[in-house]
A and B are shown apart, each in its own frame.
Chain A
Amino acid sequence: MSVSVVLIVVMAALFACGVYAMLERSLTRVLIGFLLLGNGANLLLLIVLGKPGVAPFFGSAEDAASFSDPLPQALSLTAIVITFAVSAFLLALIYRSWQLGQADTVEDDEADVALRERAAEPADALETEDEITEQDDDATTDFVDSEVAPITVLSSLDFDALADDAPTDRPTGDGRRGDDS
């Protein structure tokens, strides 16, 4: 099997950039990282194809040996569709996360927070985390809770947040209230 070195280098670069981007806290960058990783994996499937030949199954007079291997193409098509669907879902998730006023960052683990509390860290670090834990309290029970807000369209309050899209670490009180009402 002969493979293209250029493609391998590109794939390696995609994987490297993807992993780097996924390590970020911002969900949007995680999404970009995932897209790069997904493309890297798809490219790997294409590299597996080997030397490209003529279209398979089309024109049966051709010698079978000159065909491209059809299987990796089918596999990568499926993988592309899956990547597409998952990125659409991730985008919706990012939007919802931002709508709830947390910006689009990955929040800390509750267990990590508890550990940190036990280790008695400086008080100001604790306050932020306490707030997050408290906010969790009202929402951990049932998926049919009346407090579970349906995914709403943008309200006018959200438009203020639209202008200020700088990533923030803390939830902003305003955006949250706007959703609850």
Chain B
Amino acid sequence: MSSLVPLLTTLPLLGAAVALIFGRRRRVQVWVSIVTLTAVLVIASVLLVYVDAHAPLAVAVAGWPVPFGIVLYVDTLAALLVVISSIVLLAVLLFSVGQGAADGDEDTPVSIFHPSYLILAAGIYTAFIAGDLFNLYVGFEILLVASYVLITLGGTEARIRSGVVYIVVSLVSSVLFLSAIAAIYAALGTVNMAQIAERMALQPPSVQLVLHLMLLLAFGIKAAVFPLSFWLPDSYPTAPAPVTAVFAGLLTKVGVYAIIRTETQLFPDSNINTLLLIVSLATMIVGILGAVAQAELKRILSFTLVSHVGYMIFGLAIATPAAIGATVYYMVHHIVVQTTLFLAVGLIERRAGTTSILKLKGLMTGAPLIALLYFIPAINLGGLPPFSGFIGKFALFDAAAQVGTPLMIVLIVGGVITSLLTLYTLMRAWNLGFWRESTSAEEPEVEDRIRFLGSAPAAAVQTERRVIPKVMTASTAGLVVVTIALTVFAGPLFDLCARIGAQLSEPVHVAQVISDTTTGEGGH
């Protein structure tokens, strides 16, 4: 079983190489990408079932013993996230294939799209299954470099401009992360996460705090946590629709994942939960207030993305097993829902030629299917029952209420307000874009009510309308079905997340990892 683990990284990398070789043949590239991601999805599902039933898998790559070699560590959390990200990556891939087929990109220079996309996938998987900090860094770098290429795809002026911001910010966070790794090695003499966890307890609290904050700073930039989140709303909306969708769904979550590992496994003793609670409150509130002030759907969604990262940090800061389980559930929910919404907005953009809610109108009668595909994830993100957003938030608030300190109550209130404001922004877009009659004459009145949005960025953007291939609608619909499945199967999934929460709350013993590794070697 453990011989399957390295495939999670190597398959997408090999796929990328093959796709690059067939750079001139788009059809081959498409099939290579689809087959690769499907294979990873199958492998990850098998691993998830196995790991959940047995113990976490640790594989020493190339047989180097633990402190020296690279360890891949798959526990339930990692396997679950790989499964979810494979589903999302596959759906977005189909969406982009449909888009490319419709627009006839046979000759355009996007032959690098598929290889970059697969490398991005490889980076995401590597980060999820990394057993040591340095491998996590390498995973981050793989996905970041691929994302640099994807965000500046085509090299237009707008994309270069927003890409530069994204790239420079990411570079700073990478250097911080690397320095943090060096400092940790200096203090502890290891980069293996299990060993770090064991040896960290022996360090004086001040050293622990410095190392802890360095790591959190680096991951916080990637996860777009409040004071470090300003790069996100400007850089995401300019990228191509499928790229934005996958970035929004997955890249920030990789940062959140790294924060989960930091908080639960590396520094279980170093307690900065109060700081995290305040930061998460600020992330939620500031993020959603930004969304309220926007007129363009992709920007609105980028701001809600920032604000909802706050919920995950909130769950981590509560730090009970139940809260961590709820965080994981919320993370899974948010990956799928946020991606779906961005894809739906991509459909809207093609149908109406704009994503400005001041210009959109009459979509309800004109495009009822798109309306449905927007509406379901929108109320899901807004946290209306019975959807998974409600379940996740309720579980978070419940875990916070069980702790019951005054700060927790403040956080719950803040979370509810954020949820309502999310609903308000998304439903405002719904009312204007979908319910408003396309021939309505009461426009001055509407304009009057939301005049403050007139000067918001990209409020007047109008692009050409395009046909929507069935594949694009189908892949978006597929993801909507997944969000509904997250609701319908919330019981088993939530139990799984609760087990993850319990698993993460127990320290990982290095002896356990080492013994697992040796048995893993026998399986080769």
A contact residues vs B (CB 8 Å cutoff): 1, 22, 27, 30, 34, 37-38, 40-41, 44-45, 47-48, 70-72, 75, 78-79, 82, 85-86, 89-90, 93, 96-97, 100, 102, 106-107, 109-111, 113-114, 117-118, 132-133, 135-151, 176
0/1 interface trace, chain B 148-179, chain A, CB 8 Å (1 if under): 11001111111111111101100110110011
| Min distance, Cβ A103 to any Cβ of chain B, angstroms | 12
Q: Which residues of chain B are near A30, meaning CB under 8 Å?
A: 168
| Min distance, Cβ B231 to any Cβ of chain A, angstroms | 9
One of B155, B172, B237, B349 near A148 (C-beta < 8 A): B155
| CB atoms of A72 and B185 under 8 A apart | yes
> Nearest residue in B to A145 (C-beta to C-beta)?
B154
- Once A117-B455, A141-B349 are accepted as A-B contacts, the answer to whether A48 and B463 lie under 8 Å apart by CB is no
One of A102, A141, A144, A146 near B100 (C-beta < 8 A): A144
One of A45, A102, A150 near B109 (C-beta < 8 A): A150
> Nearest residue in A to B237 (C-beta to C-beta)?
A140
In the complex, which of the residues A85, A136, A146 has the most CB atoms of chain B within 10 Å of its own CB atom? A136
> Nearest residue in A to B462 (C-beta to C-beta)?
A137
CA distance A107 to B168 in the complex (A): 12
Q: Per DSSP, are chain A's interface residues mostly helix, strand or loop, or mixed? A: helix
B contact residues vs A (CB 8 Å cutoff): 67-68, 99-100, 103-105, 108-110, 113, 134, 138, 141, 145, 148-149, 152-165, 167-168, 171-172, 174-175, 178-179, 181-183, 185-186, 191, 233-234, 237-241, 243, 299, 349, 455-458, 461-464, 466
Q: Which residues of chain A are near B233, meaning CB under 8 Å?
A: 111
Please provide the 6 A-B residue pairs with the shortest distance between their CB atoms, ordered closest to farther. Answer: A143-B240, A148-B154, A139-B156, A144-B105, A136-B158, A44-B182
CA distance A138 to B327 in the complex (A): 40
One of A75, A85, A97 near B160 (C-beta < 8 A): A97
In the complex, which of the residues A113, A133, A140, A148 has the most CB atoms of chain B within 10 Å of its own CB atom? A140
Q: Which residues of chain A are near B349, meaning CB under 8 Å?
A: 141
Q: Which residues of chain B are near A44, meaning CB under 8 Å?
A: 179, 182-183
| Min distance, Cβ A25 to any Cβ of chain B, angstroms | 11
> Nearest residue in B to A70 (C-beta to C-beta)?
B68
| Min distance, Cβ A145 to any Cβ of chain B, angstroms | 7
